[in-house]
Structure 1
Amino acid sequence: MEFIPNFQITPFIATKLLEIERHKEAIAILPITANVIASLRETARLITTHYSTQIEGNSLTEDEVKQIAQGKSGFPGRERDENEVKNYFSALEFVEEQLKQEVILSEKLVQNIHSLVFYGVKKQSQYRDGQNVIKDGKTKVIVYLPPEAVDVAPMMKALLQWANDQIKYEELPVPIIAALVHYQFATIHPYNDGNGRTARLVTTFILHKTGYGMKGIYSLEEYYAKNLNGYYDALTVGNSHNYYFGRAEADITSFIEYFTQGMAIAFQSVREKALGFNENEKTSGQIYQADRLRELRPQQRQVLSLFQMRKEVSLREIAEHIGINTRSTNNLLQKWMEQGFVKIENNSKKARTYVLDQQWEQVVLDKDIDNVSIEE
């Protein structure tokens, strides 16, 4: 049962693909520190979990999701919501682990993701063995009748084979591959419940595996949740709610437009956040450096500029740099070693040299040290 998607790359999609690449490249060359990445990644994980579960009706707030991530539990009357959040965190961690191990997209991977999302345990959850329906939450009218259970396994196999071929041969842009897999997964609806969350995690896996992971610092789920009607409208194509009466051959260009627009928005957002974090960290770093430098005496501050030029210096070089005799310099060095400012690197009497203690070496390594005000 071969998967043959029907779509067009419209001018709108082409524009969004260019935007995605532009933001991706801009983020790649930003001097983002490890601290900034860690902060953005943690924020993205919380946002992803909050919005992906919210789409399915979870009532926990973003702050409550954060509390759960920090180990707090006990939300009376909302145990199911709490478990959904915990399960989603587990599934996210599993996806991250699988990416590190460089596994490929497979039925086993999909089934493990679904099991973690829905049951909270890692096992190969089996596809549904009966018919399911999607109804309007308010009117209870059937809005979609997925394929029969007997067709689910061959359709999933065909989808994953198609996705792996596309990833291998790069015949389509990655965002389009991810969009098509997301759409087709929702179309097949292989499980009775948990399909949406699993589809979004599978999409995340594909994007990360193909170079669009951005170190895990963005979230598409926020876009879906804030454009939920657009999400469902984009998924609803064809002339009939029955899969066999038109949806299989339907043009799904509208969903690709929706998806690529979401990626462009998410990438732009994280680019702006990264710039903001960098500026804040730079300012904080300058304040920190100024505070540290104020701890030093004037002669120590003078010596810092010498250590900026070379990591290892001799007693004579220090004496000449601060303009005092070697005996006085030696006395200063003894005091500075007791204070943890410098330490001996080469202990030879004839060629003794000194280096900064590690904590002060880090201060010197800061390229903005010359711009830090150290006036009393």
Structure 2
Amino acid sequence: MYVSDMNSALIKSIEGKKKELDRLRPLPKAILEKLREQFYLEWTYNSNAIEGNTLSLQETDLVLRQGITIGNKSLREHFEVINHKEGIDYLEKVIKKKTSISLNLIREIHGIILKNIDDEEAGVFRRTNVRITGASHIPPNAAKVYNLVEELVEWYYLNHKKLSVPELASWFHYKFVFIHPFIDGNGRTARLLMNLILMQEGYPPAVILHLDRRKYYRVLREADKGNPLGFMDFVGKSVERSLIIYLNSFKIDSKDNKQGYITLKEATKHCNYSLEYLSLLARTGKLSAVKFNRNWMTTIEAIQTYLEEVT
């Protein structure tokens, strides 16, 4: 099972875009800072929303940037937002200091995720057996968790130079959630660790969208049954999406460089919605879309996904 399983054409496409991005370095600081802000907000919102947090993208932004408490939302949901952003800030320090991935680092990240939510379990490997709702996979016995995480770290170093960066990050994510080392917060921690691996190698963070939640869980279940290809490609496409956004932000003339993205006006041809309604869906995070300069762009696949969600 633990071999290269990502589609070779996808890897080639990702690595080609990464080389293109590297050629543009050093990247303009002002644009880079704006992108980081956009990505960290999107990453925090989506990662929490996947786990059931009901704060919208705009509410998440208000909590992070203005420290506003949102009415009718739980204290836990507010802490999930604050903690996740703190987790990202911690990753940046880890990258700057070139700290190695270790058991302690994993516990440290998880400790941040559950801070003020469940301080007793924050950064502590689970001591009880668990079952995941809606999944056929039963996580390993609690007594094995410590050794399994230790083996995962060893696996990471053994394969660090053998696998491509996107494959390494994807596999680490999958293997981590397979072990399910903590009582709570495994998904958020897995996505932070996945992005740590990517960011250490100069990749932008890959944001798994809340809109793709059902597909995300489906490909995870398929991987549990011994078919990891769907999951690997799913993560690979998230990596590619981030690279496309970065490239289009740094290129001076990106009119013909949208890499599969279409304008919302073009998108109206693929559904029965008006431009105004699609714009509303994009702004509220209900339609997977990205902003290139001032224009919202989406993909035909995103339109189809939204239509499937509402029908």
TM category, shorter: 0.7 to 0.9
TM-score (norm 2): 0.74
Q: 1:258 aligns with which of 234, 241, 265?
A: 234
Distance apart, 1:47 and its partner CA: 0.8
- Tell me which residue corresponds to 1:37: 32
Give the direction of change, closer, same or farther, for the CA distance of 1:187–1:15 in structure 2 (3 Å limit): same
Give the direction of change, closer, same or farther, for the CA distance of 1:265–1:278 in structure 2 (3 Å limit): closer
Distance 1:110 1:19 in 2: 30
Q: 2:202 aligns with which of 212, 215, 227?
A: 212
- Tell me which residue corresponds to 2:100: 104
Are 1:6 and 1:251, in contact at CA under 8 Å, matched by a contact in 2?
Answer: no
- Tell me which residue corresponds to 1:229: 214
Q: 2:123 aligns with which of 122, 125, 140?
A: 125
- Tell me which residue corresponds to 1:367: none
Alignment gaps of 5+ in structure 1: 137-141, 239-246, 280-376
1:195 aligns with 2:190: no
Give the direction of change, closer, same or farther, for the CA distance of 1:23–1:42 in structure 2 (3 Å limit): same
Q: 1:161 aligns with which of 142, 154, 165?
A: 154
Q: 2:164 aligns with which of 173, 185, 189?
A: 173
Distance apart, 1:235 and its partner CA: 0.8
- Tell me which residue corresponds to 2:20: 26
Distance apart, 1:270 and its partner CA: 2.4
Distance apart, 1:212 and its partner CA: 3.4
Aligned identity (percent) is 24
**Highest Rg: 1 or 2?**
1
Distance apart, 1:63 and its partner CA: 1.3
Distance apart, 1:15 and its partner CA: 0.8
Alignment gaps of 5+ in structure 2: 256-311
Give the direction of change, closer, same or farther, for the CA distance of 1:115–1:277 in structure 2 (3 Å limit): farther
Distance 1:262 1:226 in 2: 12
Distance 1:183 1:73 in 2: 35
- After TM superposition, the structure 1 = structure 2 runs for residues 128-143 of structure 1, keeping only pairs within 5 Å, are 128-136=126-134, 143=136
Could you tell me which amino acid in structure 2 is paired with residue 144 of structure 1? H
Are 1:7 and 1:253, in contact at CA under 8 Å, matched by a contact in 2?
Answer: no
Are 2:112 and 2:122, in contact at CA under 8 Å, matched by a contact in 1?
Answer: no
Aligned residues: 251
Distance 1:237 1:19 in 2: 24
* SS of equivalent to 1:129: coil
Could you tell me which amino acid in structure 1 is paired with residue 97 of structure 2? Q
Could you tell me which amino acid in structure 2 is paired with residue 95 of structure 1? L
Distance 1:90 1:273 in 2: 26
Give the direction of change, closer, same or farther, for the CA distance of 1:74–1:37 in structure 2 (3 Å limit): same
Are 2:110 and 2:123, in contact at CA under 8 Å, matched by a contact in 1?
Answer: yes
Deviations 1:269-301 (A, max 9, x none): 22223337999xxxxxxxxxxxxxxxxxxxxxx
Distance apart, 1:165 and its partner CA: 2.3
Are 1:146 and 1:188, in contact at CA under 8 Å, matched by a contact in 2?
Answer: yes
- Tell me which residue corresponds to 1:338: none
Distance apart, 1:266 and its partner CA: 2.2
* SS of equivalent to 2:251: helix
Q: 1:94 aligns with which of 90, 95, 117?
A: 90
TM-score (norm 1): 0.62
Could you tell me which amino acid in structure 2 is paired with residue 87 of structure 1? N
Distance 1:45 1:262 in 2: 15
Distance 1:132 1:224 in 2: 26
Deviations 1:82-108 (A, max 9, x none): 110001011111111111111100010
Distance 2:250 2:229 in 1: 32
Could you tell me which amino acid in structure 2 is paired with residue 158 of structure 1? E
Distance 1:201 1:273 in 2: 24
Give the direction of change, closer, same or farther, for the CA distance of 1:61–1:124 in structure 2 (3 Å limit): closer
- Tell me which residue corresponds to 1:71: 66
Runs of 4+ in 1 over 6 A off after TM superposition: 276-279
